[in-house]
Amino acid sequence: MQEHIYVSGPSITQKEIDYVTDAVTNAWYGNANVFNKRFEDAFAAYHGVKFAVALPSCTAAIHLALLALNIHEGDEVIVPELTWIASSAPISYVGATPIFADVDTKTWCLSAESFEKCITPRTKAVITVDLYGNVPDMDAIRTIANQHSIAIIEDAAEAVGASYKGHKAGSLGEVGVFSFHGSKTLTTGEGGMLITNNDTLYERVLFYRDHGRRPGDKLFWNHEVAYKYKMSSMQAALGLAQLERIDELVERKRTIFANYEEQLSGIAGITLNYEAPDTTNVYWMVTAIVDSKFGFDKETLGAALAKRDIDTRPFFYPLSAIPAYADTPQAQGAKDRNPVSYSISPYGINLPCGMDMTEEKIAYVCDALKECLLVSHKV
C-alpha cells in the first residue's frame, strides 16, 4: 500500500537538533539573545538589507509594518485577491480598509494594472504577495506606487530564497515580511521576520513590538500601549540552522517542481507555476490549474486525490468571496472587477511538495492526477 503523502513539511537534520539543543541548554542569562542576534544578522546579510527583526509570526510582522508606516482608520491598503488571509487581516487590526486587487494571469501575483485601478486618495500602502514562491512584476508596481507615494510591504512569507532581477524576494519594498510556519520552506515551527533598509521604520518596529518602550530607555517606561511580538531563542536557533542550509532547501523545492513539470507539462489543460526569465521562483507550493473541461473543480479533484492517500490544498479563494469579507462594502462587485482571480481560483490545486517528496512519490501523485483527469473523466 502507498504511504500517506502530505502536502508540505520541513527538512530537519542533526544541525537543527544541535542548534536547538545548544539554545535550550545555553541561551539564558548573559547569552539569552545570542541566537536571535545571529539569526537576524545572517538573515539581513542573506537579503542584502540593513535590518532584520525576528518575530513570532508573519502576521505579527505585517501588523508591525502597518503600525510603523502609521497606517490607521480611514486609510486604504491594497492587497491581491489570491492570498492567505494573514496578508490582509492586519489591515483591519490597525483600523484601515483592505482593497482587493486582481492578479496577473501568468504569475498569479498582484497585477500592476489592477493595482493602479484600485488607487484612491486614501491609499497608503500596497501589500504585494510573492504567491507560492513567485514574485510579481515589481518594477511596474514600484513605478505606480512611487507616483502615488504608496508604501510597498512585500509579503514574502512563501518566497524565502526567491529573487527578482538579482534582488532577493522580501527586499523589493519598503518592508519585507516572512513566515517560518511549519509548512514554509524555512521553518522555526512558528515564527516570522521583518526586514527593511529604513532606519525610522526599523526603530518604530522595535518600539511597537516591545510594549511601546524606546530601545535603551529606562526599564518599565512605556510611552504607548503597544504589542509584545518576540521570537524565542529556541526558535531562532532552529531558524539559523535552516538559514545555513537555505541553498539546499531552495534547490530541493526547485527539483521537486522540475520533477512534476517533467511529468505534467506535456498534458494539455494543466498549467503549472510560471517563472519569468528574470525571476527565480522557489515553488513553495507546486500548483496545477486544471482546465474546466476535465469536469473537476479544486474541491472535487482534492477529494479524488484524498481517496488515493494524497493530501492537497485548494488554491486560495478570492478574499472578497470568503465569509470574513463577503459582506463588506469593498467586496461588492469584486467578482466583476477581478475576473482573473475568480477564474483561476476554482480550478487550482496545490500538490504535495514537502521536503520529504521523493521522485517515486511525485510519480505516484502525477499518475493519480492523470488517472483522475484523463481516465475517470474522458474528454
Ligand X SMILES: *Cc1c(COP(=O)(O)O)cnc(C)c1O
Inter-axis angle of helices 34-47 and 233-243, to 10 degrees?
30
| Residue among 248, 322, 228 at smallest CA distance from 12 | 248
Bridge-based pairing state of the strands 175-179 and 151-155? parallel
CA atoms of 134 and 123, how far apart (whole Å): 25
Minimal distance, residue 21 CB to ligand X, in Å: 24
Segment contacting ligand X by CB under 6 A, of 68-76, 110-118, 155-163, 214-222: 155-163
SS (H, E, C) 326-351: HCCHHHCCHHHHCHHHHHHHHHEEEC
7 to 46: interface string for ligand X, x by CB under 6 A: ----------------------------------------
- Name the grid cell of 85: 488571509
Q: Which is nearer to ligand X, 57 or 235 (CB)?
A: 57
Q: Which is nearer to ligand X, 58 or 135 (CB)?
A: 58
Minimal distance, residue 269 CB to ligand X, in Å: 27
Residues 83-112 touching ligand X, rule: CB under 6 A, are 83-84, 86-87
Q: What single-letter amino acid sits at 188?
A: T
In what helix (H) or strand (E) does residue 257 lie, and over which residues does it extend? helix 246-264
Segment contacting ligand X by CB under 6 A, of 80-88, 195-203, 259-267, 299-307: 80-88
Q: What sign for the dihedral angle of Cα 207, 126, 110, 302?
A: positive
| Residue among 227, 217, 197, 309 at smallest CA distance from 62 | 227
Helix (H, G, I), strand (E, B) or coil at 5: strand
CA atoms of 276 and 131, how far apart (whole Å): 14
Q: Which is nearer to ligand X, 157 or 234 (CB)?
A: 157
Contact 32, 45 (CB under 8 A): no
Out of 57, 279, 280, 341, the only residue in the binding site for ligand X (CB under 6 A) is 57
Out of 54, 58, 153, 369, the only residue in the binding site for ligand X (CB under 6 A) is 58
Minimal distance, residue 131 CB to ligand X, in Å: 7
191 to 220: interface string for ligand X, x by CB under 6 A: -x----------------------------
Contact 236, 23 (CB under 8 A): yes
CA atoms of 282 and 251, how far apart (whole Å): 8
* Residues that contact ligand X, how many (by CB under 6 A): 14
Minimal distance, residue 219 CB to ligand X, in Å: 30
According to the binding rule CB under 6 A, does residue 129 interact with ligand X? yes
Segment contacting ligand X by CB under 6 A, of 154-162, 227-235, 261-269, 293-301: 154-162
Minimal distance, residue 284 CB to ligand X, in Å: 8
Minimal distance, residue 81 CB to ligand X, in Å: 12
Out of 8, 111, 179, 196, the only residue in the binding site for ligand X (CB under 6 A) is 179
Minimal distance, residue 61 CB to ligand X, in Å: 8
Out of 40, 81, 155, 174, the only residue in the binding site for ligand X (CB under 6 A) is 155
Q: Which is nearer to ligand X, 20 or 58 (CB)?
A: 58
- Name the grid cell of 258: 522540475
Minimal distance, residue 127 CB to ligand X, in Å: 9
- Name the grid cell of 200: 525610522
Residues 6+ apart with CB under 8 A from 121: none
Q: Which is nearer to ligand X, 55 or 304 (CB)?
A: 55
- CA dist 275 → 73, 133, 180, 212, 347 (Å): 37, 10, 23, 42, 20
Minimal distance, residue 155 CB to ligand X, in Å: 5
Indicate the burial class of 379 (C-beta count within 10 angstroms; 0-12, 13-18, 19 or more): exposed
Q: Which residues bind ligand X (CB under 6 A)?
A: 57-59, 83-84, 86-87, 129, 155, 157-158, 179, 181, 192
